[in-house]
Structure 1
Amino acid sequence: MKRSGWIVVFALLASLVMPLPASAAGRTPGDCTAALDCTAAEINLMSMDDRLEFVRLMQSGPGAQLDATDRWRNIEGVITFFRDHNMGAPGTWVSYVDSGIVEGVERGIAIALGRSQDEFGNPGSRKWATYLTKLHAGQLTVRNVHDKAWGEAEQASTDHGVVLAERVHKIKPTAVERRFFLFSEFYRWTLRNRPAALDLLAVYGGLIHPDLARQRVPFLDWFTDVGNPVPSRKGCELAYAFARLDPIAGLFTTVDLLLAYIPDLFREYRAAA
Protein backbone atom coordinates (compact mmCIF):
# COMPACT_ATOMS: atom_id res chain seq x y z
CA MET A 1 0.00 0.00 0.00
CA LYS A 2 1.22 3.49 -0.83
CA ARG A 3 2.19 5.83 1.98
CA SER A 4 -0.86 8.03 1.33
CA GLY A 5 -3.09 4.97 1.69
CA TRP A 6 -1.63 4.11 5.11
CA ILE A 7 -2.20 7.68 6.23
CA VAL A 8 -5.90 7.39 5.38
CA VAL A 9 -6.18 4.06 7.23
CA PHE A 10 -4.51 5.43 10.35
CA ALA A 11 -6.72 8.51 10.26
CA LEU A 12 -9.84 6.34 10.10
CA LEU A 13 -8.65 4.17 12.99
CA ALA A 14 -7.88 7.26 15.07
CA SER A 15 -11.38 8.59 14.47
CA LEU A 16 -12.78 5.36 15.91
CA VAL A 17 -10.81 5.38 19.15
CA MET A 18 -10.49 9.10 19.91
CA PRO A 19 -13.44 10.71 21.77
CA LEU A 20 -15.45 13.14 19.73
CA PRO A 21 -15.96 16.68 20.97
CA ALA A 22 -19.51 17.55 22.04
CA SER A 23 -20.09 19.56 18.87
CA ALA A 24 -19.40 16.42 16.83
CA ALA A 25 -21.37 14.09 19.11
CA GLY A 26 -24.51 16.24 19.02
CA ARG A 27 -25.81 19.76 18.62
CA THR A 28 -23.58 22.67 19.50
CA PRO A 29 -24.31 25.21 22.29
CA GLY A 30 -25.34 27.63 19.55
CA ASP A 31 -27.76 25.08 18.09
CA CYS A 32 -29.30 24.45 21.50
CA THR A 33 -29.61 28.15 22.23
CA ALA A 34 -31.36 28.81 18.94
CA ALA A 35 -33.83 25.93 19.32
CA LEU A 36 -34.15 25.78 23.13
CA ASP A 37 -35.13 22.12 22.83
CA CYS A 38 -31.99 20.14 23.64
CA THR A 39 -32.84 17.36 26.07
CA ALA A 40 -30.99 16.47 29.24
CA ALA A 41 -29.68 13.43 27.35
CA GLU A 42 -28.12 15.74 24.75
CA ILE A 43 -26.76 18.13 27.38
CA ASN A 44 -25.19 15.14 29.14
CA LEU A 45 -23.03 14.62 26.03
CA MET A 46 -21.66 18.16 26.26
CA SER A 47 -18.31 18.97 27.81
CA MET A 48 -18.31 21.46 30.67
CA ASP A 49 -16.82 24.04 28.30
CA ASP A 50 -19.78 23.60 25.98
CA ARG A 51 -22.27 23.80 28.85
CA LEU A 52 -20.63 26.99 30.06
CA GLU A 53 -20.98 28.45 26.56
CA PHE A 54 -24.59 27.26 26.39
CA VAL A 55 -25.54 28.96 29.67
CA ARG A 56 -23.82 32.17 28.61
CA LEU A 57 -25.51 32.15 25.20
CA MET A 58 -28.93 31.61 26.79
CA GLN A 59 -28.39 34.70 28.93
CA SER A 60 -27.09 36.94 26.16
CA GLY A 61 -29.59 35.60 23.60
CA PRO A 62 -33.16 34.50 24.40
CA GLY A 63 -32.77 35.25 28.10
CA ALA A 64 -32.11 38.91 27.29
CA GLN A 65 -35.65 39.17 25.94
CA LEU A 66 -36.82 38.42 29.50
CA ASP A 67 -34.32 40.72 31.25
CA ALA A 68 -32.30 37.67 32.34
CA THR A 69 -28.90 38.62 30.95
CA ASP A 70 -27.10 37.64 34.16
CA ARG A 71 -29.50 35.44 36.10
CA TRP A 72 -27.43 32.24 35.93
CA ARG A 73 -23.91 33.53 36.40
CA ASN A 74 -23.68 31.57 39.66
CA ILE A 75 -24.34 28.43 37.61
CA GLU A 76 -21.46 29.56 35.38
CA GLY A 77 -19.29 29.53 38.50
CA VAL A 78 -20.28 25.96 39.34
CA ILE A 79 -19.74 24.70 35.79
CA THR A 80 -16.34 26.42 35.70
CA PHE A 81 -15.43 24.61 38.91
CA PHE A 82 -16.49 21.26 37.40
CA ARG A 83 -14.45 21.97 34.28
CA ASP A 84 -11.31 22.93 36.17
CA HIS A 85 -11.53 19.86 38.41
CA ASN A 86 -12.34 17.41 35.59
CA MET A 87 -15.72 16.60 37.09
CA GLY A 88 -18.94 15.86 35.22
CA ALA A 89 -17.83 13.78 32.26
CA PRO A 90 -20.77 12.48 30.19
CA GLY A 91 -22.54 9.59 31.88
CA THR A 92 -21.46 10.46 35.43
CA TRP A 93 -23.67 11.36 38.39
CA VAL A 94 -22.48 14.97 38.31
CA SER A 95 -23.16 15.22 34.58
CA TYR A 96 -26.74 13.97 34.82
CA VAL A 97 -27.58 16.23 37.76
CA ASP A 98 -26.08 19.23 35.98
CA SER A 99 -27.92 18.29 32.79
CA GLY A 100 -31.23 18.41 34.64
CA ILE A 101 -30.42 21.89 35.91
CA VAL A 102 -29.40 23.28 32.51
CA GLU A 103 -32.36 21.64 30.78
CA GLY A 104 -34.74 23.23 33.29
CA VAL A 105 -33.33 26.68 32.55
CA GLU A 106 -33.52 26.09 28.80
CA ARG A 107 -37.12 24.92 28.83
CA GLY A 108 -38.12 27.65 31.27
CA ILE A 109 -36.90 30.25 28.79
CA ALA A 110 -38.73 28.51 25.94
CA ILE A 111 -41.99 28.40 27.90
CA ALA A 112 -41.69 32.00 29.11
CA LEU A 113 -41.10 33.17 25.53
CA GLY A 114 -44.19 31.28 24.34
CA ARG A 115 -42.29 28.98 22.03
CA SER A 116 -43.58 25.79 23.60
CA GLN A 117 -45.36 24.50 26.68
CA ASP A 118 -43.41 21.23 26.77
CA GLU A 119 -41.61 20.86 30.11
CA PHE A 120 -39.64 17.80 28.91
CA GLY A 121 -40.74 16.08 32.12
CA ASN A 122 -38.58 18.49 34.13
CA PRO A 123 -40.50 20.07 37.07
CA GLY A 124 -38.02 22.93 37.10
CA SER A 125 -39.05 24.07 33.62
CA ARG A 126 -42.39 25.55 34.68
CA LYS A 127 -40.89 27.12 37.80
CA TRP A 128 -38.17 28.79 35.74
CA ALA A 129 -40.82 30.02 33.30
CA THR A 130 -42.82 31.52 36.18
CA TYR A 131 -39.67 33.11 37.60
CA LEU A 132 -38.75 34.64 34.23
CA THR A 133 -42.26 35.92 33.58
CA LYS A 134 -42.32 37.66 36.96
CA LEU A 135 -38.79 38.97 36.49
CA HIS A 136 -39.70 40.50 33.13
CA ALA A 137 -42.85 42.02 34.64
CA GLY A 138 -40.82 43.72 37.37
CA GLN A 139 -42.36 41.64 40.16
CA LEU A 140 -39.08 40.37 41.65
CA THR A 141 -37.41 43.60 42.71
CA VAL A 142 -37.50 42.67 46.42
CA ARG A 143 -34.44 40.55 47.17
CA ASN A 144 -36.22 38.04 49.40
CA VAL A 145 -38.96 37.47 46.83
CA HIS A 146 -36.51 37.16 43.96
CA ASP A 147 -34.19 34.73 45.71
CA LYS A 148 -37.05 32.51 46.86
CA ALA A 149 -38.43 32.20 43.32
CA TRP A 150 -34.95 31.55 41.89
CA GLY A 151 -34.12 29.01 44.58
CA GLU A 152 -37.36 27.09 44.13
CA ALA A 153 -36.80 26.78 40.38
CA GLU A 154 -33.20 25.70 40.87
CA GLN A 155 -34.19 23.13 43.50
CA ALA A 156 -36.84 21.58 41.26
CA SER A 157 -34.38 21.29 38.36
CA THR A 158 -31.71 19.84 40.64
CA ASP A 159 -34.10 17.28 42.08
CA HIS A 160 -34.96 16.22 38.55
CA GLY A 161 -31.27 15.85 37.73
CA VAL A 162 -30.84 13.59 40.76
CA VAL A 163 -33.76 11.46 39.53
CA LEU A 164 -32.14 11.18 36.10
CA ALA A 165 -28.86 10.06 37.63
CA GLU A 166 -30.09 7.72 40.34
CA ARG A 167 -33.44 6.35 39.17
CA VAL A 168 -33.21 6.49 35.40
CA HIS A 169 -29.51 5.70 34.95
CA LYS A 170 -28.93 3.86 38.28
CA ILE A 171 -25.81 5.90 39.12
CA LYS A 172 -25.11 6.78 42.73
CA PRO A 173 -22.84 9.64 43.84
CA THR A 174 -19.47 8.88 45.31
CA ALA A 175 -18.97 9.69 48.97
CA VAL A 176 -17.15 12.90 48.02
CA GLU A 177 -19.88 13.88 45.54
CA ARG A 178 -22.56 13.25 48.15
CA ARG A 179 -20.81 15.47 50.70
CA PHE A 180 -20.14 18.12 48.06
CA PHE A 181 -23.84 18.06 47.14
CA LEU A 182 -24.71 19.05 50.71
CA PHE A 183 -23.16 22.45 50.05
CA SER A 184 -25.36 23.03 47.01
CA GLU A 185 -28.41 22.05 49.07
CA PHE A 186 -27.36 24.53 51.74
CA TYR A 187 -26.92 27.23 49.10
CA ARG A 188 -30.41 26.67 47.68
CA TRP A 189 -31.91 26.56 51.18
CA THR A 190 -30.33 29.95 51.88
CA LEU A 191 -31.87 31.40 48.72
CA ARG A 192 -35.31 30.07 49.60
CA ASN A 193 -35.13 31.08 53.26
CA ARG A 194 -33.38 34.45 53.38
CA PRO A 195 -35.13 35.72 56.58
CA ALA A 196 -34.29 32.50 58.43
CA ALA A 197 -30.70 32.63 57.17
CA LEU A 198 -30.32 36.20 58.43
CA ASP A 199 -31.72 35.16 61.80
CA LEU A 200 -29.21 32.32 62.03
CA LEU A 201 -26.36 34.67 61.15
CA ALA A 202 -27.54 37.08 63.83
CA VAL A 203 -27.49 34.29 66.43
CA TYR A 204 -24.39 32.38 65.37
CA GLY A 205 -22.43 35.06 63.51
CA GLY A 206 -20.52 36.12 66.59
CA LEU A 207 -19.24 32.58 67.01
CA ILE A 208 -17.86 32.64 63.48
CA HIS A 209 -16.39 36.15 63.24
CA PRO A 210 -16.80 39.28 65.38
CA ASP A 211 -18.02 41.30 62.37
CA LEU A 212 -20.33 38.73 60.79
CA ALA A 213 -23.50 39.48 62.74
CA ARG A 214 -23.14 43.18 61.91
CA GLN A 215 -22.35 42.54 58.25
CA ARG A 216 -24.77 39.66 57.75
CA VAL A 217 -26.97 41.48 55.20
CA PRO A 218 -24.22 42.52 52.75
CA PHE A 219 -22.52 39.15 53.25
CA LEU A 220 -25.70 37.24 52.41
CA ASP A 221 -26.29 39.56 49.44
CA TRP A 222 -22.83 38.60 48.15
CA PHE A 223 -23.19 34.89 48.85
CA THR A 224 -26.57 34.57 47.13
CA ASP A 225 -25.97 36.95 44.20
CA VAL A 226 -27.02 34.85 41.19
CA GLY A 227 -25.45 37.45 38.90
CA ASN A 228 -21.96 36.89 40.31
CA PRO A 229 -20.01 33.69 39.47
CA VAL A 230 -17.37 34.27 42.16
CA PRO A 231 -19.25 33.25 45.36
CA SER A 232 -20.54 30.00 43.85
CA ARG A 233 -17.11 29.16 42.46
CA LYS A 234 -15.43 29.94 45.79
CA GLY A 235 -18.10 27.99 47.63
CA CYS A 236 -17.54 24.97 45.39
CA GLU A 237 -13.81 25.09 46.03
CA LEU A 238 -14.35 25.15 49.79
CA ALA A 239 -17.05 22.49 49.72
CA TYR A 240 -14.92 20.18 47.58
CA ALA A 241 -11.95 20.58 49.92
CA PHE A 242 -14.17 19.80 52.90
CA ALA A 243 -15.84 16.89 51.13
CA ARG A 244 -12.50 15.27 50.31
CA LEU A 245 -11.44 15.53 53.94
CA ASP A 246 -14.89 14.50 55.18
CA PRO A 247 -15.01 17.03 58.03
CA ILE A 248 -18.80 17.34 57.70
CA ALA A 249 -19.59 13.64 58.03
CA GLY A 250 -22.83 13.35 59.95
CA LEU A 251 -23.55 17.09 59.80
CA PHE A 252 -26.93 17.52 58.17
CA THR A 253 -28.74 20.32 60.02
CA THR A 254 -28.77 23.84 58.67
CA VAL A 255 -26.87 25.10 61.70
CA ASP A 256 -24.21 22.39 61.23
CA LEU A 257 -23.69 23.41 57.62
CA LEU A 258 -23.75 27.10 58.49
CA LEU A 259 -20.96 26.64 61.01
CA ALA A 260 -19.01 24.41 58.61
CA TYR A 261 -19.07 26.64 55.53
CA ILE A 262 -19.63 30.25 56.55
CA PRO A 263 -16.28 30.99 58.26
CA ASP A 264 -14.26 30.49 55.07
CA LEU A 265 -16.93 32.08 52.90
CA PHE A 266 -16.97 35.15 55.13
CA ARG A 267 -13.21 35.45 54.71
CA GLU A 268 -13.69 35.29 50.93
CA TYR A 269 -16.36 37.97 51.16
CA ARG A 270 -14.11 40.28 53.15
CA ALA A 271 -11.25 39.71 50.71
CA ALA A 272 -13.54 40.61 47.79
CA ALA A 273 -14.97 43.72 49.49
Structure 2
Amino acid sequence: MRSAWVVVLALVAGLVAPVPAMAVVRSPGECATSLECTAAEIDRMTVAQRLEFLRLVQSGPAAGLGAPDRWRNIEGVLAFFHDHGLGTPGTWISHVDAAILEGIERGVALALGRSTDGYGNPGSARWAAYLSRLHRGELTVRNEHDRAWSEAEQASTEHGVAMAEQLHGLRPTAVERRFFLFSEFYRWSLRNRPVVLDLLLIYGALLNPVLILRRVPFVDWLTDVRESTPSRKGSEMAYAYAQLDPVNGAFSTVDLLFAYIPELFEEFQATR
Protein backbone atom coordinates (compact mmCIF):
# COMPACT_ATOMS: atom_id res chain seq x y z
CA MET A 1 0.00 0.00 0.00
CA ARG A 2 2.81 2.38 0.92
CA SER A 3 4.51 1.76 -2.43
CA ALA A 4 1.26 2.62 -4.23
CA TRP A 5 1.09 5.97 -2.43
CA VAL A 6 4.69 6.65 -3.37
CA VAL A 7 3.80 6.14 -7.02
CA VAL A 8 0.76 8.43 -6.74
CA LEU A 9 2.76 11.18 -5.02
CA ALA A 10 5.48 10.92 -7.65
CA LEU A 11 2.92 11.32 -10.42
CA VAL A 12 1.35 14.34 -8.71
CA ALA A 13 4.78 15.91 -8.20
CA GLY A 14 5.49 15.41 -11.88
CA LEU A 15 2.29 17.23 -12.80
CA VAL A 16 2.98 20.28 -10.64
CA ALA A 17 6.75 20.49 -11.20
CA PRO A 18 7.80 23.28 -13.55
CA VAL A 19 8.44 22.14 -17.10
CA PRO A 20 11.66 23.48 -18.65
CA ALA A 21 10.79 26.15 -21.18
CA MET A 22 11.52 25.32 -24.79
CA ALA A 23 14.00 27.55 -26.56
CA VAL A 24 12.21 30.54 -28.01
CA VAL A 25 12.38 30.57 -31.79
CA ARG A 26 12.18 34.11 -33.09
CA SER A 27 11.07 34.92 -36.60
CA PRO A 28 13.27 36.85 -39.06
CA GLY A 29 11.03 39.86 -38.48
CA GLU A 30 11.43 39.66 -34.71
CA CYS A 31 15.20 39.33 -35.05
CA ALA A 32 15.39 42.29 -37.43
CA THR A 33 13.30 44.44 -35.11
CA SER A 34 15.06 43.55 -31.87
CA LEU A 35 18.59 43.16 -33.33
CA GLU A 36 19.20 40.72 -30.49
CA CYS A 37 19.35 37.29 -32.13
CA THR A 38 22.58 35.39 -31.52
CA ALA A 39 24.61 33.47 -34.06
CA ALA A 40 23.21 30.29 -32.52
CA GLU A 41 19.68 31.48 -33.26
CA ILE A 42 20.60 32.54 -36.78
CA ASP A 43 22.22 29.15 -37.36
CA ARG A 44 18.83 27.54 -36.70
CA MET A 45 17.22 29.61 -39.46
CA THR A 46 16.81 28.26 -42.96
CA VAL A 47 18.69 30.10 -45.68
CA ALA A 48 15.40 31.60 -46.90
CA GLN A 49 14.75 32.94 -43.40
CA ARG A 50 18.24 34.43 -43.22
CA LEU A 51 17.70 36.17 -46.52
CA GLU A 52 14.43 37.60 -45.22
CA PHE A 53 16.15 38.65 -41.99
CA LEU A 54 18.97 40.46 -43.80
CA ARG A 55 16.56 42.29 -46.08
CA LEU A 56 14.46 43.39 -43.11
CA VAL A 57 17.54 44.65 -41.25
CA GLN A 58 18.43 46.76 -44.28
CA SER A 59 14.97 48.13 -44.96
CA GLY A 60 14.34 48.65 -41.24
CA PRO A 61 16.90 49.76 -38.64
CA ALA A 62 19.89 50.03 -41.01
CA ALA A 63 17.99 52.38 -43.31
CA GLY A 64 18.07 54.97 -40.54
CA LEU A 65 21.86 54.91 -40.80
CA GLY A 66 21.85 55.37 -44.57
CA ALA A 67 22.41 51.67 -45.25
CA PRO A 68 19.23 50.32 -46.85
CA ASP A 69 21.19 48.36 -49.45
CA ARG A 70 24.73 47.80 -48.18
CA TRP A 71 24.55 44.00 -47.97
CA ARG A 72 22.91 43.17 -51.27
CA ASN A 73 26.03 41.25 -52.26
CA ILE A 74 25.47 38.97 -49.26
CA GLU A 75 21.88 38.56 -50.43
CA GLY A 76 23.30 37.18 -53.68
CA VAL A 77 25.39 34.61 -51.82
CA LEU A 78 22.41 33.55 -49.69
CA ALA A 79 20.29 33.15 -52.82
CA PHE A 80 23.02 30.92 -54.25
CA PHE A 81 23.09 28.84 -51.05
CA HIS A 82 19.33 28.45 -51.23
CA ASP A 83 19.43 27.31 -54.87
CA HIS A 84 22.08 24.68 -54.13
CA GLY A 85 20.90 23.41 -50.76
CA LEU A 86 23.97 24.75 -48.96
CA GLY A 87 24.15 26.31 -45.50
CA THR A 88 21.67 24.06 -43.75
CA PRO A 89 21.59 24.55 -39.95
CA GLY A 90 24.46 23.02 -38.03
CA THR A 91 26.90 22.82 -40.94
CA TRP A 92 30.28 24.54 -41.27
CA ILE A 93 28.89 26.95 -43.88
CA SER A 94 25.89 27.70 -41.67
CA HIS A 95 27.93 28.62 -38.61
CA VAL A 96 30.26 30.87 -40.62
CA ASP A 97 27.31 32.56 -42.30
CA ALA A 98 25.48 32.98 -38.98
CA ALA A 99 28.47 34.81 -37.51
CA ILE A 100 28.58 37.14 -40.52
CA LEU A 101 24.90 38.00 -40.10
CA GLU A 102 25.25 38.36 -36.34
CA GLY A 103 28.07 40.84 -36.85
CA ILE A 104 25.91 42.94 -39.16
CA GLU A 105 22.93 42.81 -36.80
CA ARG A 106 24.93 43.77 -33.72
CA GLY A 107 26.85 46.40 -35.67
CA VAL A 108 23.56 48.08 -36.51
CA ALA A 109 22.48 47.86 -32.86
CA LEU A 110 25.75 49.41 -31.68
CA ALA A 111 25.66 52.18 -34.28
CA LEU A 112 22.09 53.04 -33.28
CA GLY A 113 23.10 53.21 -29.62
CA ARG A 114 20.73 50.43 -28.62
CA SER A 115 23.44 48.39 -26.93
CA THR A 116 27.14 48.17 -26.17
CA ASP A 117 27.26 44.37 -26.47
CA GLY A 118 28.84 42.96 -29.61
CA TYR A 119 28.09 39.37 -28.53
CA GLY A 120 31.80 38.56 -28.67
CA ASN A 121 31.81 39.00 -32.43
CA PRO A 122 34.75 41.23 -33.48
CA GLY A 123 32.87 42.20 -36.62
CA SER A 124 30.17 43.97 -34.59
CA ALA A 125 32.36 46.92 -33.61
CA ARG A 126 33.80 47.18 -37.12
CA TRP A 127 30.33 47.23 -38.67
CA ALA A 128 29.27 49.86 -36.13
CA ALA A 129 32.26 52.00 -37.08
CA TYR A 130 31.52 51.52 -40.78
CA LEU A 131 27.86 52.47 -40.34
CA SER A 132 28.69 55.50 -38.21
CA ARG A 133 31.16 56.76 -40.80
CA LEU A 134 28.69 56.06 -43.59
CA HIS A 135 25.97 57.96 -41.73
CA ARG A 136 28.30 60.94 -41.25
CA GLY A 137 29.07 61.00 -44.96
CA GLU A 138 32.72 60.01 -44.53
CA LEU A 139 32.80 57.06 -46.94
CA THR A 140 32.17 58.76 -50.26
CA VAL A 141 35.53 57.67 -51.72
CA ARG A 142 35.11 54.19 -53.19
CA ASN A 143 38.45 52.79 -51.98
CA GLU A 144 37.80 53.91 -48.40
CA HIS A 145 34.25 52.61 -48.40
CA ASP A 146 35.13 49.21 -49.78
CA ARG A 147 38.05 48.75 -47.41
CA ALA A 148 35.92 49.58 -44.35
CA TRP A 149 33.15 47.26 -45.54
CA SER A 150 35.54 44.42 -46.29
CA GLU A 151 37.41 44.69 -42.99
CA ALA A 152 34.13 44.46 -41.08
CA GLU A 153 32.98 41.38 -42.96
CA GLN A 154 36.41 39.80 -42.73
CA ALA A 155 36.38 40.11 -38.94
CA SER A 156 32.98 38.43 -38.67
CA THR A 157 33.95 35.76 -41.18
CA GLU A 158 37.10 34.80 -39.29
CA HIS A 159 35.06 34.69 -36.09
CA GLY A 160 32.58 32.39 -37.80
CA VAL A 161 35.33 30.04 -38.97
CA ALA A 162 36.72 29.90 -35.43
CA MET A 163 33.26 29.20 -33.99
CA ALA A 164 32.56 26.46 -36.51
CA GLU A 165 35.91 24.74 -36.12
CA GLN A 166 36.91 25.36 -32.51
CA LEU A 167 33.54 25.47 -30.75
CA HIS A 168 31.53 23.06 -32.88
CA GLY A 169 34.38 20.86 -34.12
CA LEU A 170 33.38 21.15 -37.77
CA ARG A 171 35.63 21.23 -40.80
CA PRO A 172 34.77 22.28 -44.35
CA THR A 173 34.87 19.78 -47.15
CA ALA A 174 37.58 20.24 -49.77
CA VAL A 175 35.03 21.84 -52.09
CA GLU A 176 33.76 24.16 -49.35
CA ARG A 177 37.32 25.19 -48.51
CA ARG A 178 38.09 26.05 -52.13
CA PHE A 179 34.80 27.93 -52.44
CA PHE A 180 35.74 29.83 -49.28
CA LEU A 181 39.01 30.89 -50.95
CA PHE A 182 36.99 32.59 -53.67
CA SER A 183 35.07 34.54 -51.02
CA GLU A 184 38.39 35.51 -49.45
CA PHE A 185 39.57 36.70 -52.86
CA TYR A 186 36.43 38.84 -53.17
CA ARG A 187 37.03 40.50 -49.79
CA TRP A 188 40.70 40.94 -50.66
CA SER A 189 39.64 42.66 -53.90
CA LEU A 190 37.55 45.14 -51.93
CA ARG A 191 40.55 46.03 -49.79
CA ASN A 192 43.01 46.16 -52.68
CA ARG A 193 41.24 47.86 -55.55
CA PRO A 194 44.40 49.45 -57.09
CA VAL A 195 46.16 46.07 -57.11
CA VAL A 196 43.18 44.40 -58.79
CA LEU A 197 43.14 47.08 -61.48
CA ASP A 198 46.88 46.59 -62.02
CA LEU A 199 46.44 42.82 -62.31
CA LEU A 200 43.71 43.29 -64.89
CA LEU A 201 45.96 45.66 -66.81
CA ILE A 202 48.72 43.05 -66.85
CA TYR A 203 46.64 39.94 -67.52
CA GLY A 204 43.57 41.46 -69.16
CA ALA A 205 44.76 40.81 -72.71
CA LEU A 206 45.01 37.09 -71.92
CA LEU A 207 41.50 37.05 -70.45
CA ASN A 208 39.64 39.37 -72.81
CA PRO A 209 41.23 42.25 -74.78
CA VAL A 210 38.25 44.53 -74.09
CA LEU A 211 38.74 44.03 -70.36
CA ILE A 212 41.80 46.31 -70.35
CA LEU A 213 39.70 49.23 -71.57
CA ARG A 214 36.72 48.54 -69.32
CA ARG A 215 38.48 47.28 -66.22
CA VAL A 216 37.49 50.27 -64.04
CA PRO A 217 33.70 50.08 -64.59
CA PHE A 218 33.95 46.29 -64.42
CA VAL A 219 35.65 46.34 -61.02
CA ASP A 220 33.13 48.97 -59.88
CA TRP A 221 30.31 46.58 -60.79
CA LEU A 222 32.00 43.46 -59.45
CA THR A 223 32.71 44.94 -56.02
CA ASP A 224 29.53 46.99 -55.58
CA VAL A 225 28.07 45.80 -52.27
CA ARG A 226 24.70 47.22 -53.35
CA GLU A 227 24.45 44.68 -56.18
CA SER A 228 23.35 41.06 -55.74
CA THR A 229 23.94 39.85 -59.30
CA PRO A 230 27.78 39.81 -59.28
CA SER A 231 27.98 37.90 -56.00
CA ARG A 232 25.28 35.42 -56.99
CA LYS A 233 26.78 34.81 -60.42
CA GLY A 234 30.27 34.77 -58.92
CA SER A 235 29.19 32.19 -56.36
CA GLU A 236 27.83 29.97 -59.12
CA MET A 237 31.12 30.10 -60.98
CA ALA A 238 33.25 29.80 -57.85
CA TYR A 239 31.36 26.71 -56.71
CA ALA A 240 31.76 25.10 -60.12
CA TYR A 241 35.52 25.77 -60.09
CA ALA A 242 35.78 24.70 -56.45
CA GLN A 243 34.62 21.23 -57.43
CA LEU A 244 37.77 20.85 -59.51
CA ASP A 245 40.85 19.50 -57.76
CA PRO A 246 43.79 21.82 -58.50
CA VAL A 247 47.42 20.75 -58.34
CA ASN A 248 48.52 20.68 -54.69
CA GLY A 249 44.92 21.47 -53.70
CA ALA A 250 45.43 25.25 -53.74
CA PHE A 251 44.79 28.28 -55.91
CA SER A 252 47.15 31.21 -56.34
CA THR A 253 45.85 34.77 -56.77
CA VAL A 254 46.50 34.56 -60.51
CA ASP A 255 44.69 31.20 -60.66
CA LEU A 256 41.68 32.80 -59.01
CA LEU A 257 41.87 35.77 -61.36
CA PHE A 258 41.90 33.56 -64.45
CA ALA A 259 39.10 31.37 -63.11
CA TYR A 260 36.85 34.08 -61.73
CA ILE A 261 37.05 37.02 -64.11
CA PRO A 262 36.32 35.99 -67.75
CA GLU A 263 32.75 34.76 -67.30
CA LEU A 264 31.93 37.56 -64.88
CA PHE A 265 33.18 40.08 -67.42
CA GLU A 266 30.83 38.55 -69.99
CA GLU A 267 28.00 38.92 -67.48
CA PHE A 268 29.01 42.54 -66.90
CA GLN A 269 29.01 43.28 -70.64
CA ALA A 270 25.57 41.71 -71.01
CA THR A 271 24.14 44.03 -68.38
CA ARG A 272 25.92 47.23 -69.44
- When normalised by structure 2's length, the TM-score is 0.89
Q: Is residue 251–residue 257 contact of structure 1 (8 Å, CA) maintained in 2? A: no
Secondary structure of residue in 2 paired with 1:140: coil
State the 1:246 CA deviation. 2.9
Percent identical among aligned pairs is 65
Q: Which residue of 2 aligns with 1:33?
A: 32
Q: Which residue of 2 aligns with 1:148?
A: 147
State the 1:255 CA deviation. 2.0
Q: Which residue of 1 aligns with 2:13?
A: none
Q: 2: CA distance between counterparts of 1:25 and 1:201? A: 50
1:76-95 Cα distance to aligned partner (Å, 9 max, x none): 00001001101111100010
Q: 2: CA distance between counterparts of 1:263 and 1:92? A: 31
State the 1:265 CA deviation. 1.2
Q: Is residue 178–residue 250 contact of structure 2 (8 Å, CA) maintained in 1? A: no
Q: Is residue 208–residue 259 contact of structure 1 (8 Å, CA) maintained in 2? A: yes
Q: Which residue of 1 aligns with 2:83?
A: 84
Q: 2: CA distance between counterparts of 1:128 and 1:248? A: 37
Q: Which residue of 2 aligns with 1:67?
A: 66
In structure 1, stretches of 5+ residues that fail to align are: 1-23
Aligned length: 250
1:42 maps to 2:26: no
State the 1:207 CA deviation. 1.2
Aligned ranges 1:136-215 → 2 under 5 Å: 136-215=135-214
1:257 maps to 2:256: yes
Aligned-partner residue type, residue 173 of structure 1:
P
Q: 2: CA distance between counterparts of 1:269 and 1:51? A: 27
Q: Which residue of 2 aligns with 1:131?
A: 130
In structure 2, stretches of 5+ residues that fail to align are: 1-22
State the 1:243 CA deviation. 1.1
Q: 2: CA distance between counterparts of 1:32 and 1:208? A: 44
Q: 1: CA distance between counterparts of 2:113 and 2:85? A: 37
1:200-259 Cα distance to aligned partner (Å, 9 max, x none): 111111111001111110000010010010000000000111112335764433222112
Which of 1 and 2 has greater Rg? 2
Q: 1: CA distance between counterparts of 2:177 and 2:221? A: 25
Aligned-partner residue type, residue 253 of structure 1:
S
Q: 1: CA distance between counterparts of 2:258 and 2:268? A: 16
Q: Which residue of 2 aligns with 1:9?
A: none
Q: 2: CA distance between counterparts of 1:248 and 1:191? A: 27
Q: Which residue of 1 aligns with 2:271?
A: 272
Q: Are residues 228 and 194 of structure 1, via their aligned partners in 2, closer, same or farther at CA, if it must alter by over 3 Å?
A: same
Q: 1: CA distance between counterparts of 2:209 and 2:245? A: 27
- When normalised by structure 1's length, the TM-score is 0.89
Q: Which residue of 1 aligns with 2:17?
A: none
Secondary structure of residue in 1 paired with 2:211: coil
Q: 2: CA distance between counterparts of 1:122 and 1:238? A: 30
State the 1:120 CA deviation. 0.6
Aligned-partner residue type, residue 161 of structure 1:
G
Q: Is residue 33–residue 57 contact of structure 1 (8 Å, CA) maintained in 2? A: yes
Q: 1: CA distance between counterparts of 2:256 and 2:247? A: 8
